[in-house]
Amino acid sequence: MVSVLWRESWLKPLSIYDIETKVCKFCKKTLEDQDFVTSCEFCDIGVMHDHCANSHILDKHKDEVEKKIELHKDKRLHDYQ
Ligand SMILES: [Zn+2]
Ligand SMILES: [Zn+2]
């Protein structure tokens, strides 16, 4: 079965002063105006580009992601019972 990973879809505008960094913590590139950014829910690496976070999470937190998917499957089973 294919599992997709849903990120909350609303956008929250923040200034670089709010996020206290000028660079992406993953690729180290300077954040540009209207870049899509997010943080990692599994560690406190800091703010990253959205696409960098995908790479980071799949690279560093594969186990956590798989656990989460398993957890979700269990929940859904209970809903049907
Ligand atoms: Zn980046
Ligand atoms: Zn992380």
Give the integer Cα–Cα distance in Å for 47 and 44: 9
Q: Which residue has the higher pLDDT, 1 or 31?
A: 31
What is the 16 CA–ligand 1 centroid distance (Å)?
Answer: 14
Starting from the CA of residue 50, give the closest ligand: 1
At 21-66, the pLDDT tens digits run 999 999 999 999 999 999 999 999 999 999 999 999 999 999 999 9
What spacing in Å lies between the alpha carbon of 29 and ligand 1's midpoint?
6
**If you measure from the C-alpha of residue 33 to the centroid of ligand 2, how many angstroms do you get, rounded to a whole number?**
24
Q: Which residues pair with 38 in a beta bridge?
A: 48
What's the 74 CA to ligand 2 centre distance in angstroms?
A: 24
pTM to 2 decimal places? 0.81
Angstrom CA distances, 37 to 13, 29, 69, stand at 10, 12, 23
